[in-house]
Amino acid sequence: MEDTIFGKITRGEIPTEFLYEDDHCVAIRDINPQAPTHVLIIPRKPIPRLVDSGAEDQELLGHLLLVAGRVADKLGVGEAFRLVINNGEGGGQTVFHLHLHILAGREMTEGQLSAGLN
């Protein structure tokens, strides 16, 4: 796959504040926040899209969910947040390195499922 901005960020080639990091993933603030709290959980492994992940990624995918919950809690939004994964251009994905969006701090009403809209 081609390298992306998230590859450079996870490798530390672009200085970015990590709200959380471990051997498998990092958490950063979104550069164009769609909610008062908008954080991205990015695996260090550059899987382009969720649909490109395989059985070998099962543990990593579970880890990303656990980290998302912990980071949300740490940021004080553990009681009310939304987790979004955009998959593919038609799904609103713009950076083709798998990532989870944590969105919080505004009302999350039914039908507003996109990270980038509303």
Q: How do 100-104 and 20-21 pair as beta strands?
A: unpaired
Minimum CB separation from ligand 5GP for residue 41, in Å?
12
Among residues 2, 15, 90, 94, the one that binds ligand 5GP under rule CB under 6 A = 94
31 binds ligand 5GP (CB under 6 A): yes
5 binds ligand 5GP (CB under 6 A): yes
Tell me how far CA of residue 107 lies from CA of 39, 41, 46, 110, in angstroms.
Answer: 16, 21, 32, 10
Among residues 10, 72, 93, 103, the one that binds ligand 5GP under rule CB under 6 A = 93
